Structure 1
């Protein structure tokens, strides 16, 4: 297949690009800078020089291939608007298959695994995810949505950022009793899931998870990696320090991955964060 990947120089997109090329596909990867171009080329892909806001370039790149995998996102306040314009441009170009990436907060908060259909309304800074999913699923293209949970491994991603934050703060903190639970997935296992969705021409929403951990287990592993102590603090203290992101970390996000498993996916690398953190983050 000829696949256009947005975010091809990023954390998830890099793992995906390498996986797709290893499986014999041709990849063209969005690159917004000379440094990003070098990363994409280093993966063995063809760089497409543009930003996520360059909708004309995105449309042309999407139209000439077999599929698009959208993993890119801005970190600016207009993230939802940028995503809407970029995805709409690519879908309107007439792409055959389109996979977009949202996240675990679209699922109902639960300490037992929930299926893809078990959703709850999202609010605040993540409210736009519901619209982003519907845009792809209702587009008329072969649309799929991947909801990654807590992604780790290969020196990047949210768990790596938690380690860096703990090192900077001199302490790793969980919220309240730390018994809320999160699903996890190694980034290379996540990349394999995208590849299987493309190759099987699957549509719909898919959770990808290699297990789940309590937040106190996760932060204990983060503390060990950062070489700092681990302690608890209240949600009010966490909100005062980190804003809405603290509420995100205080929630439960345990995902049922039966749907992707039915396509033949199984974690090949990830062992769960506490047992795997020291060697993969």
Structure 2
């Protein structure tokens, strides 16, 4: 297939690009700078110069191929509006094909036990826009829509876990909130990339959770982060965590366990996480093998 990937120079998007190219697909990747163009080429794709605000570029690129994989994400308060405009431009230009979008674990109901895709959170509050973003893709006319909800993504020395290791090293301590027994699912970025490719190739539709088989407690994860950063581990109160790190601390203090049964039903397996220690097994002390 000819696939247009937004965010192709980013953490998840570059992994998706590599996976698609390795499986024989032709990939064009959105790139908003010379540096991004270089990264897209290194991943094996053809750069398409532009950003999420460039609606004509997005529309033309989406219409020119067989599918779109949307992994790009803006930042700041305008993220929901930017994403909505970008997706609308691409969907309006497509007359057929597939559109696979990226959502997130917070769209699912917070639970210590893994939840399935239809068990969703109340669509209100600061993350309410995720519900609209998913519906926009799933109800689109003329295209086959699918949504991927990754939890914590790790591997290849990047992503949020690498950021948490860097933060712990800078703070001189790795900390979890309360007793740290809340549980999060996780997935290696290479396994996540294979999930996008599998959904694309099988003609699947709907929402898919993508996660290692066993969620990890935040206490265990932070202990592994502390070992990787070479710093002690401690607990702190939610109010203190929010004051220092803002909303991120609140997200990491809740439960976000996902059941990836739908994806496994397509033949997907977490080759990197399941049976190899998962996310904690990849946090090797004094190494950035995340």
TM-score band by shorter chain is over 0.9
1:240 partner SS: helix
Query: 2:196 aligned with 1:194, yes or no?
Result: yes
Q: By how many angstroms is 1:195 displaced? A: 0.2
Task: Please give the per-residue CA displacement for 1:54-73, whole angstroms capped at 9, x wherever unaligned.
Answer: 01000000001000000001
1:74 partner SS: coil
Q: By how many angstroms is 1:123 displaced? A: 4.0
Counterpart in the other structure of 2:260: 257
Q: Contact 1:20 / 1:27 at 8 angstroms: preserved in 2?
A: yes
Task: Please give the per-residue CA displacement for 1:99-130, whole angstroms capped at 9, x wherever unaligned.
Answer: 00010001011111100000012444322111
1:114 partner SS: coil
Pick the aligned partner of 1:185 from 180, 184, 187: 187
Counterpart in the other structure of 1:45: 45
Counterpart in the other structure of 2:279: 273
1:125 partner SS: coil
Quick one: distance in 2 between partners of 1:234 and 1:251? 13
Pick the aligned partner of 2:216 from 199, 206, 213: 213
Quick one: distance in 2 between partners of 1:158 and 1:226? 14
Query: What are the equivalent positions in structure 2 for 1:67-82 lying under 5 Å apart?
Result: 67-82=67-82
Counterpart in the other structure of 1:113: 114
Normalised TM-score (structure 2)? 0.95
Q: Contact 1:164 / 1:226 at 8 angstroms: preserved in 2?
A: yes
Quick one: distance in 1 between partners of 2:25 and 2:271? 20
1:75 partner SS: coil
Q: Contact 1:166 / 1:226 at 8 angstroms: preserved in 2?
A: yes
Task: Please give the per-residue CA displacement for 1:111-166, whole angstroms capped at 9, x wherever unaligned.
Answer: 11100000012444322111100100111220000000010000111111110110
1:145 partner SS: strand
Which 10-residue stretch deviates more, 114-123 or 77-86?
Answer: 114-123
Task: Please give the per-residue CA displacement for 1:187-229, whole angstroms capped at 9, x wherever unaligned.
Answer: 0000000000000011000000113100000000000000100
Q: Contact 1:105 / 1:122 at 8 angstroms: preserved in 2?
A: no
Quick one: distance in 2 between partners of 1:267 and 1:187? 10
Q: By how many angstroms is 1:274 displaced? A: 1.3
Quick one: distance in 1 between partners of 2:92 and 2:279? 40
Counterpart in the other structure of 1:230: 233
Quick one: distance in 2 between partners of 1:35 and 1:23? 25
1:99 partner SS: strand
Quick one: distance in 1 between partners of 2:187 and 2:124? 25
Tell me how large the CA RMSD over aligned residues is: 1.0
Quick one: distance in 2 between partners of 1:194 and 1:51? 21
Runs of at least 5 residues in structure 1 that lack an aligned partner in the other structure: none
Counterpart in the other structure of 1:131: 132
Quick one: distance in 2 between partners of 1:58 and 1:126? 25
Counterpart in the other structure of 2:104: 103
Q: Contact 1:153 / 1:277 at 8 angstroms: preserved in 2?
A: no
Quick one: distance in 1 between partners of 2:243 and 2:39? 37
Q: By how many angstroms is 1:36 displaced? A: 0.2
2:27 partner SS: strand
Counterpart in the other structure of 2:93: 93
